[in-house]
């Protein structure tokens, strides 16, 4: 797919393309297409690649210059992300700091917090993890129980988080905790920034279906952080967290759709190779998969148009998320079908090829970033105006 972003950014686009062509070589080129939001594959290579991007000034393009960014427009950032996806470069290892925590801090942090944390994120010297979910609070974040109490000029944290992506590699965690013990639901929550490497933080890695160390349980037992490391206001953590989740569902969909497009092309090539072994019903579904990435393109362009016009996409981005994750899962199943019985076998030490990994990891896409059931509720209530479901 080719997209024309207009003459205003033509030179910038050329600069990005040239840089990527010159730097995506050697071991970085060998890892083309590797990684994903839920993938620890080739972690060290991907980190090295992120440092290469940092040295070239390609991280934080729209972040203010005073915090280490380049102060470019959102359109330029989108153009770069698009060219990035087109080049097939490895998936960035630092997305949690760059795409989630950084924008949240830019919007809600104090000048001192921004000066302290944003430049090392852009230099890939500091990695972050998102500590929201708990065993009893995922979709329903308002019921979370991990708590913190002020002791002099420090918060003392006790409780558990779960599914914290790459917590074992993170230097810092941004954690949503209950700071008012008498509060209920979304009141009395606070967003704290917590250094991971300290005696009161115990990180236990959870291995995913694809055999990777992807996320972790995090146990806090008297862990400490400085009293001023609150993002937003004490007791207003719900608002801060909702802002972050809005970012998570923002404008990353266009590059994602481009990578799905590549996967469909790969699927078609594999089906051609398998020839008559692919039944007619599977062929039909391959056509549907091809059409689904076209539909994603149109929806994503609409969302992008909204964002560039300065509007928040809102529930429409929820449709895009729901559609992309469910379509991608279908593509994964199709790829497994086309591969036939051989596709069901892992190599020695559970070695998987890229298609098998993509299939297994796609199963989580309808869970993280808002499960499909929750997305359907949001679409029903906020877009279609259906009656609200009962709330606890
Ligand atoms: C790969 C991956 C990475 C993740 N990374 C992180 C991370 O870095 N940081 C972090 O904090 N969390 C992370 N998560 C956690 C993720 O945000 C939660 O798994 C998700 O919010 C769902 O919550 P849950 O697992 O508690 O499931 P539950 O909320 O218990 O839901 C279980 C099922 O019930 C359905 N359900 C729940 N409530 C309703 C309702 N009201 N109506 C209809 N259906 C409902 C859900 O849709 C789901 O199908 C990650 C998860 C995965 C899979």
Q: What is the pLDDT of residue 343?
A: 85
Mutation pick for ligand 1 pocket among 368, 372, 390 (CB with most ligand atoms within 8 Å):
368
Around ligand 1, the residues with Cβ closer than 6 Å are 38, 130-133, 138-140, 163-165, 215, 364, 367-368, 371, 373-374, 377
Please tell me whether residues 308 and 345 are part of one structural domain: yes
CA dihedral 68, 99, 121, 63 (to 10 degrees): 10
pLDDT, tens digit, 9 for 90 and up, residues 229-286: 999 999 999 999 887 665 544 456 677 778 888 889 999 999 999 998 889 999 999 9
Whether 340 and 269 map to the same domain: the answer is: yes
Q: Do 279 and 315 belong to one domain?
A: yes
Closest by CA position to 240, among listed 308, 339, 174: 174
Domain count, the chain: 3
Written as tens digits, the pLDDT of the chain (392 aa) is: 567 788 889 999 999 999 999 999 999 999 988 877 777 788 999 999 999 999 999 999 999 999 999 999 888 988 998 899 889 899 889 989 998 899 999 999 999 999 999 999 999 999 999 999 999 999 999 999 999 999 999 999 999 999 999 999 999 999 999 999 999 888 999 999 999 999 999 999 999 999 999 999 999 999 999 999 999 999 999 999 887 665 544 456 677 778 888 889 999 999 999 998 889 999 999 999 999 999 988 888 888 888 778 777 777 778 888 999 999 999 999 998 998 888 889 999 899 888 888 889 899 999 998 899 999 998 999 889 999 988 76
Describe the crossing of helices 10-23 and 74-87 by its angle, rounded to 10 degrees. 40
Ligand 1 atom nearest to CA at 208: 1
The answer to the question of residue 113 being in a domain is no
| Token reading at 390 | 């009962």
> Containing domain of residue 78, as a range?
7-91
Residue 106: both structure tokens together: 């830019």
Q: What per-residue confidence (pLDDT) applies to 245?
A: 62
The closest residue, in CA terms, to atom 2 on ligand 1 is: 368
* Residues in Cβ contact with 176 at an 8 Å cutoff, skipping those fewer than 6 apart: 131, 132, 141, 144, 146, 189, 190, 191, 192, 237, 240, 241
Same domain flag for 372 and 257: yes
The 8-class DSSP code of residue 353 comes to: -
How far is ligand 1, taken at its centre, from the CA of residue 145, in Å?
16
The pLDDT value recorded for residue 247 is 55
Q: Tell which atom from ligand 1 comes closest to the C-alpha of 133.
A: 11
Identify whether 102 is part of a domain.
Answer: no
Residue 282 and residue 345 in one domain:
yes
The answer as to whether 117 is a domain residue is no
Among the atoms of ligand 1, which is closest to the Cα of residue 361?
1
| Residues designated as active site | 248
Say which residue the tokens 């890229």 belong to: 354
| Residue 63 shares a structural domain with residue 170 | no
Residue of the CA atom closest to atom 41 of ligand 1: 374
CA dist 61 and 63 (Å) reads 6
**Biggest distance spanned by C-alpha atoms of the chain:** 73
How remote is the C-alpha of 2 from its chain's centroid? 24
**pLDDT tens sequence across 94-147:** 989 998 899 999 999 999 999 999 999 999 999 999 999 999 999 999 999 999
User: Does residue 307 contact residue 313 with C-beta atoms inside 8 Å?
Assistant: yes
Q: What 3-state DSSP class applies to 74?
A: helix
| Amino acid 215: pLDDT | 94
Centre of ligand 1 from the C-alpha of residue 187, in Å: 21
- Examine the domain organization and report whether 372 and 298 are in the same domain: yes
- Nearest-CA residue for ligand 1 atom 40 is 374
Gap from CA of 232 to ligand 1 centroid (Å): 24
Q: Is the pTM of this model over 0.85?
A: yes
User: How many whole angstroms from 326 Cα to the centroid of ligand 1?
Assistant: 15
Angle between helices 253-274 and 315-339 (to 10 degrees): 20
Which letter does DSSP use for residue 200 in this model? T
Q: What is the pLDDT of residue 386?
A: 95
Pairing of strands 172-178, 189-195: antiparallel
270, part of any domain: yes
What is the CA(138)–ligand 1 centre distance, in A? Answer: 4
158 Cα to the center of ligand 1, angstroms: 22
Residue 267 and residue 229 share a domain: no
pLDDT of residue 354: 81
Q: Ligand 1, closest atom to CA 373?
A: 47
Ligand 1 atom 7: residue of nearest CA: 164
Strands 172-178 and 128-131: parallel
Domain membership of residue 119 (yes or no) is: no
């Amino acid at each position: 797919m080719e997209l024309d972003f207009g003459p205003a950014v033509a030179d910038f686009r050329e600069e990005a393309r040239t840089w990527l062509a010159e730097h995506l070589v050697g071991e970085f080129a060998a890892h083309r297409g590797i990684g994903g939001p839920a993938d620890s594959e080739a972690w060290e290579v991907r980190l090295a690649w992120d440092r290469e991007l940092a040295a070239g000034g390609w991280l934080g393009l729209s972040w203010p210059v005073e915090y280490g960014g380049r102060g470019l427009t959102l359109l330029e950032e989108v153009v770069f992300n698009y060219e990035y996806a087109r080049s097939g470069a490895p998936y960035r290892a630092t997305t949690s700091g760059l795409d989630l925590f950084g924008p949240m801090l830019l919007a809600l942090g104090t000048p001192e917090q921004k000066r302290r944390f944003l430049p090392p994120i852009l230099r890939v010297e500091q990695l972050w993890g998102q500590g929201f979910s708990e065993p009893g609070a995922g979709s329903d974040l308002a019921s979370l129980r991990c708590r913190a109490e002020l002791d002099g000029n420090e918060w003392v944290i006790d409780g558990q988080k779960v599914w914290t992506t790459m917590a074992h590699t993170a230097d810092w965690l941004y954690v949503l905790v209950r700071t008012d013990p008498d509060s209920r639901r979304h009141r009395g929550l606070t967003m704290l920034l917590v250094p991971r490497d300290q005696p009161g933080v115990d990180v236990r890695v959870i291995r995913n279906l694809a055999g990777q160390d992807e996320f972790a349980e995090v146990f806090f037992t008297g862990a400490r952080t400085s009293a001023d490391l609150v993002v937003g206001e004490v007791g207003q953590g719900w608002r801060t967290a909702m802002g972050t989740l809005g970012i998570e569902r923002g404008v990353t969909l266009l590059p994602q759709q481009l990578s799905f497009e590549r996967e469909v092309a790969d699927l078609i090539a594999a089906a051609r190779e398998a020839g008559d072994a692919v039944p007619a019903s599977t062929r039909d579904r391959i056509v549907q998969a091809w059409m689904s990435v076209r539909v994603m393109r149109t929806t994503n362009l609409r969302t992008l148009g909204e964002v560039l016009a300065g509007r928040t996409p809102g529930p429409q981005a929820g449709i895009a998320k729901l559609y992309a994750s469910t379509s991608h899962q279908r593509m994964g199943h199709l790829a497994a079908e086309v591969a036939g019985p051989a596709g069901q076998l892992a190599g020695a030490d559970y070695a998987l090829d890229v298609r098998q990994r993509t299939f297994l990891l796609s199963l989580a896409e309808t869970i993280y970033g808002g499960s499909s059931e929750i997305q359907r509720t949001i679409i029903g209530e906020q877009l279609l105006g259906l009656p609200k479901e009962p709330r606890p």
